């Protein structure tokens, strides 16, 4: 039976929470359930062990599958994740999060439950679209499935595992990311970019152990004092990052790119309200979206080693680590930015003439992703979405980071596209997560037509 609603409900009942090792059995059940479904469609399925090991826990495996092997057809890789965020009724859910419930809200039917939007709805829509094509007896393209089980925990082991097994999947001509949502409730959405990341630690070591401020205050050079002076100089009064060379490689805004922002309906007040924000750095909605999506930023997150409990404690910390991250955009190289940052912080520290010791650590880097909206994958998707929904789709980016997308593009030498399934208002990661039935069924239809359309296109 080709019914994405019924399939989604079955998936939601399996609490595949990757953050909770005691749910490993449920995750395993979920991946085997998907495997069985794919095998019924005639796919060859390989559940491969996660390459990441730390001796303590077993990370969820990755499902790889092949369906169709016609060398004259395009081969599409479909990416989703079968794990979900944690959820408990006590968190404030109206109903049991792993007991799917269909409910009407203002005349629209929704399915509630953890994973309905992120990312089991997209999996159900995809599997049903492929199933319909199999039943109709013709595969317009060859399919490759890449379903990971650690996305909600930072995609543990994704790169190592896929690098080890990707050859089994063969040549890939296009990558479909099915793990995003519509930006607004009234128009289908495509995503074409995410920012990259460089996460840095600024470590300053003074005395060998913490010192009572009654003893050390006024007589020793305090590491915290050095750190705060450095942190205060990373961004200027106009909110520009002061690291020399930081903006050198940022891609200039072209008129074509600028025009993409004309079609986006975005309400600043609503945005503030739904995110609990009381002030923004700009009142211009387009500028705000650009600053979030296509311009880089720097944030200070915290200071390790500093006293942060309630009340007063008269201590001078011996060692402090300032945590700073930068969200990066085309064409900034995260490793190069990490080096520029390190050089700059070392210079600021030198200027302080402090006898303390400074070490700058690169804690993590991740690539940005930019999917060219004029690429044929986008051109065809826009046409089909427009036809099906009767509305021009919005093309959006995100200020967040999904480094596995540029990783797969490089690994396979193919372009990616992210097709939204649910809506941003569905509450992914939050209480009462849901998906509109219309979106689920629509995604199945749109994907099916998209696969058919791509049979006539030369992707590579
Ligand atoms: Zn997701």
Distance (Å) from CA 353 to ligand 1 centroid: 47
Task: Please indicate, yes or no, whether residues 300 and 356 belong to a single structural domain of this protein.
Answer: yes
Q: How far is the CA of 126 from the centre of ligand 1 (A)?
A: 15
pLDDT given for residue 236 in this prediction: 97
Q: Choose one of 308, 331, 366: the last residue of a domain.
A: 366
Alpha helices in 13-82 (DSSP H): 24-40
Q: In this model, does residue 227 exceed pLDDT 60?
A: yes
Output the CA angle 385-389-394, nearest 5 degrees.
55
The verdict on residue 376 lying in a domain is yes
Are 163 and 229 part of one and the same domain?
no
The token duo for 188 is 């289908």
In whole numbers, what is the pLDDT of the chain averaged over residues? Answer: 96
Domain closes at, from 307, 333, 366: 366
2 C-alpha to ligand 1 centroid (Å): 23
Which residue among the candidates 26, 83, 148, 409 is catalytic per the annotation?
83
Neighbours of 108 (CB within 10 A): 12
- 163-177 pLDDT, tens digit per residue, is 999 999 999 999 999
On whether residue 264 sits in a domain, the answer given is: no
Q: Are residues 117 and 22 in the same domain?
A: yes
Asked whether the bond before 119 is cis by omega within 30 degrees of 0, the reply is yes
CATH number for the domain harbouring residue 212: 3.30.70.360
Buried b (16+ CB within 10 A) or exposed e, 46-58: bbeebbbeeeeee
* pLDDT 10s digits, 238-281: 999 999 999 999 999 999 999 999 888 889 998 898 888 999 99
- What would the DSSP string read from start to end of 166-197? HHHH---SEEEEEEEEESBTTB-EEEEEE-EE
Find the 150 Cα to ligand 1 centroid distance in Å. Answer: 10
Examine the residue annotation and report whether 343 is marked as an active-site residue of this protein.
no
Are 21 and 150 part of one and the same domain?
yes
On the question of pLDDT at 360 being above 90, the answer is: yes
Q: Domain with 396 in it: what CATH number?
A: 3.40.630.10
Considering the domain boundaries, does residue 269 fall inside one? no
Indicate if 420 and 313 belong to the same structural domain.
no
Please state the domain count of the chain: 2
pLDDT for position 2 = 78
pLDDT attached to residue 216? 96
Does position 57 have pLDDT exceeding 90, yes or no? no
pLDDT of residue 54: 84
- Strand bridging mode 315-316 / 142-148: unpaired
Has residue 55 got a pLDDT over 90?
no
Say yes or no: 175 and 229 in one domain.
no
Max Cα separation, the chain? 82
133 in Cβ contact with 451 (< 8 Å):
yes
Same domain, 352 and 337: yes
Q: Are residues 430 and 373 in the same domain?
A: yes
In a domain, 270, yes or no: no
Residue 459 CA, ligand 1 centroid: distance in Å: 26
Minimal CA–CA distance to 8: which of 84, 90, 60? 84
Structure confidence at residue 242 (pLDDT) = 98
Would you say how long the chain is, in residues? 460
* Full domain range(s) for residue 352: 196-250+296-366
d(CA 331, CA 216): 47
Please identify, among 342, 366, 390, the residue that sits at the C-terminal boundary of a domain: 366
Question: pLDDT at residue 1 above 80?
Answer: no
Residue 179 CA to ligand 1 center (angstroms) comes to 5
The lowest-confidence range among 84-88, 146-150, 204-208, 274-278 is 274-278
Do 430 and 330 lie in one domain? The reply is no
Lowest average pLDDT, out of 73-82, 246-255, 275-284, 354-363, goes to: 275-284
- Side-chain-facing half-sphere of 258: CA atoms under 13 Å: 5
17 with 86: CB under 8 angstroms? yes
Secondary structure (DSSP) of 209-262: S-EEHHHHTTTS--HHHHHHHHHTTSB-TTS-B-STTTTTTPPPPPHHHHHTTT
| Nearest partner of 14 among 114, 104, 150, judged by Cα | 114
| Interval 121-137 mean pLDDT | 97
pTM surpassing 0.85? Answer: yes
- Domain presence at residue 274: no
320 occurs within a structural domain = yes
Q: Is residue 85 part of a domain?
A: yes
Residues 214 and 333 in one domain: yes
Where helices occur in 81-208 by DSSP H, the ranges are: 121-135, 158-169
Whole-angstrom Cα distance, residue 422 to residue 440? 7
Give 436's strand partners.
110
Task: Examine the domain organization and report whether 8 and 138 are in the same domain.
Answer: yes
Q: Which residues fall inside 5 Å of ion ligand 1, going by CB? A: 118-119, 179
pLDDT in tens, 61-73: 999 999 999 999 9
Asked whether residue 398 is domain-assigned, the answer is yes
> Ligand 1 mean position to 165 CA, how many Å?
22
From 26, 118, 150, 151, active-site residue = 151
- Tell me the pLDDT tens digit for each residue of 27-47: 999 999 999 999 999 999 999
Give the H/E segment covering residue 377: helix 376-389
Half-sphere exposure of residue 147: CA atoms within 13 angstroms, side-chain side: 30
70 carries an active-site annotation? no
Which stretches does DSSP call E strand in 68-126?
A: 75-81, 101-105, 108-112
Mean pLDDT, residues 411-435 taken together: 95
Are residues 155 and 238 located together in one domain of the fold? Answer: no
């Amino acid at each position: 039976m080709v019914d994405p609603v019924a399939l989604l409900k079955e998936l939601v009942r399996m609490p595949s929470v990757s953050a909770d090792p005691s749910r490993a059995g449920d995750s395993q059940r979920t991946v085997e359930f998907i495997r069985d479904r794919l095998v019924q469609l005639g796919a060859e399925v390989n559940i491969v062990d996660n390459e990441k090991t730390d001796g303590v826990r077993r990370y969820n495996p990755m499902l790889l599958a092949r369906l169709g092997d016609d060398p004259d057809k395009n081969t599409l890789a479909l990416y989703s994740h079968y794990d979900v965020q944690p959820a408990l009724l006590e968190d404030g859910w109206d109903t049991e999060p792993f007991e799917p419930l269909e409910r009407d809200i203002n005349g629209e039917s929704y399915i509630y439950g953890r994973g309905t939007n992120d990312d089991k709805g997209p999996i159900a829509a995809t599997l049903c679209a492929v199933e319909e094509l199999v039943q109709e007896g013709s595969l317009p393209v060859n399919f490759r499935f890449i379903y990971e089980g650690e996305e909600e925990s930072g995609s543990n082991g994704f790169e190592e595992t896929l690098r080890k097994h990707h050859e089994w999947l063969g040549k890939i001509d296009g990558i479909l990311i099915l793990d995003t949502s519509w930006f607004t409730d009234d128009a289908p959405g495509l995503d074409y970019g995410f920012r990259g990341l460089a996460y840095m630690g600024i470590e300053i070591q003074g005395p060998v152990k913490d010192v009572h401020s009654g003893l050390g205050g006024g007589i020793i050079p305090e590491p915290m004092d050095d750190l705060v002076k450095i942190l205060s100089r990373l961004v200027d009064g106009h909110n520009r990052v002061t690291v020399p060379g930081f903006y050198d490689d940022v891609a200039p805004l072209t008129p074509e790119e600028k025009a993409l922002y004309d079609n986006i309906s975005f309400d600043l007040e609503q945005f503030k309200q739904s995110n609990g924000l009381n002030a923004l750095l700009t009142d211009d909605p387009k500028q705000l979206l650009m600053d979030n999506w296509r311009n880089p930023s720097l944030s200070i997150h915290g200071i390790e080693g500093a006293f942060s409990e309630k009340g007063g404690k008269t201590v001078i910390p011996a060692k402090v680590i300032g945590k700073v991250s930068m969200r990066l955009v085309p064409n900034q190289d995260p490793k190069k930015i990490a080096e520029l940052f390190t050089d700059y912080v070392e210079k600021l520290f030198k200027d302080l003439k402090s006898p303390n010791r400074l070490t700058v650590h690169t804690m993590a880097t991740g690539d940005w992703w930019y999917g060219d909206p004029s690429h044929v994958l986008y051109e065809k998707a826009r046409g089909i979405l427009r036809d099906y929904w009767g509305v021009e789709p919005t093309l959006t980016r995100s200020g967040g980071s999904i480094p596995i997308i540029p990783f797969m593009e490089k690994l396979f030498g193919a372009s990616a596209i992210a097709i939204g399934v649910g809506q941003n208002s569905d509450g992914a990661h939050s209480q009462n997560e849901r998906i509109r039935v219309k979106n689920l069924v629509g995604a199945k239809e749109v994907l099916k037509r998209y696969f058919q359309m791509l049979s006539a296109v030369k992707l590579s």
